[in-house]
Amino acid sequence: MIRIGTSGFSYKDWVGPVYPEKMPEKDWLSFYASLFSTVELNVTFYRLPSTRNIDAWLRKTPDDFLFTVKAFRGLTHERENPDFAAFADSIRPLAEAGKLGCVLAQFPNSFHPIPENKEYLKRLHAGLENHPLVAEFRHAAWARPETLELLRGLSMGYCCVDEPQLRGLMPPAAAATSPVGYIRFHGRNAAHWYEHTDPAERYDYLYTAEELEEWLPKIREVEKDSEETYVYFNNHPHGHGVAGAKVLGRLLNIQRREE
């Protein structure tokens, strides 16, 4: 099964392009859930979610809606004293409600495939062993068969990415290394990937239908080799991600809720 959504849903610049002008912010998630069956939560990267927040997420979404959560930065970027148990406990209510798709561990560009980091992947897997886990690498040195074999051995998913084809970035390869397939569209804004005044500029990109069509056979390949496939658009400025998700849904003949 393929689920399509966006990376995050709470953006003020979506008012107008996505959310009706006078819609209260508290209603944004419910509206989003009327369009898509899943969302990737970015907020969990910055802080552990409170029970109150999770209760609200559960209340505002239908029973078949699934959340994927980005691992807390202390587990992926800092890594000096990772508290796996605290993070696992914080997302437990999502899992107990049957609405946790998986955990995305997004590593920084500085995380290279050296023995120390490969061992850390094993520690991460052991620390979050009760949750489906997907790894996203940002440095092209990971784009090798050995990486896929390592992840398969851990039953950890591989995050496929579409991003500018700049030196050192990951190529747009498709692979599934666990029951969870995962694809992220970051946009192709090469001019502002490194040169920007606001980090959001990096993701300010609107995909064309032709560009998304390039991914159709790759997405089907990932779907074939996994039980559940998540596709998220991280090009969030101005609601571009929502537009791309809708186009891809039509290309894949995946009916949106509103239709």
Q: Which residue has the tokens 């039980």?
A: 227
- SS3 (DSSP) at 217: helix
Asked if residue 256 is part of any domain, the answer here is no
Cα torsion 107, 108, 113, 118: sign = negative
Tally of domains within the chain: 1
Say whether pTM exceeds 0.85. Answer: yes
- Residue ranges making up the domain that contains 134: 2-251
Mean pLDDT of 21-35: 97
Instruction: Please check the confidence at residue 246 and state whether its pLDDT lies above 60.
Output: yes
Instruction: Answer whether residue 211 is part of any domain.
Output: yes
Residue 48: count other Cβ atoms within 10 Å of its Cβ. Answer: 15
Report which of 32, 49, 115 is spatially closest to residue 86, judged by C-alpha positions.
49
The tokens describing 51, both together, are: 């029970």
Task: Examine residue 220 and state whether it is found in any structural domain, yes or no.
Answer: yes
Which amino acid, 36?
F
* Rounded-to-10 torsion of CA 119, 228, 57, 35: 140
pLDDT mean over 90-103: 97
Give the max Cα distance, the chain.
Answer: 53
For residue 63, is it within any domain? yes
3-class DSSP state of 22: coil
Evaluate if residue 12 carries a pLDDT over 50.
yes
Confirm whether 230 is domain-assigned.
yes
Mean pLDDT of 184-208: 95
- Residue 51 sits in a domain whose CATH number is 3.20.20.410
The number of angstroms, rounded, from the C-alpha of 52 to the middle of its chain's C-alpha atoms is: 23
- Average pLDDT across the chain, whole number: 96
Residue 258, domain member (yes or no): no
Q: Over the stretch 147-176, which tens digit does the pLDDT of each residue have?
A: 999 999 999 999 999 999 999 999 999 999
Q: Give the residue ranges of DSSP H helices in 128-177.
A: 145-154
**Which stretches does DSSP call E strand in the chain?**
2-6, 38-41, 66-70, 100-106, 133-136, 157-162, 180-185, 228-233
Asked if residue 257 belongs to a domain, the reply is no
Residues of the chain with pLDDT > 70, as a percent, come to 98
Show the tokens assigned to 168.
């050192």
**Residue 20, pLDDT above cutoff 50:** yes
Cα angle at 244 between 243 and 248, to 5 degrees?
A: 120
Please give the Cα distance from 183 to 143 (Å, whole number). 15
Is residue 148 a part of any domain in this protein? Answer: yes
Q: pLDDT band for 258, please (50, 70, 90 cuts).
A: very low
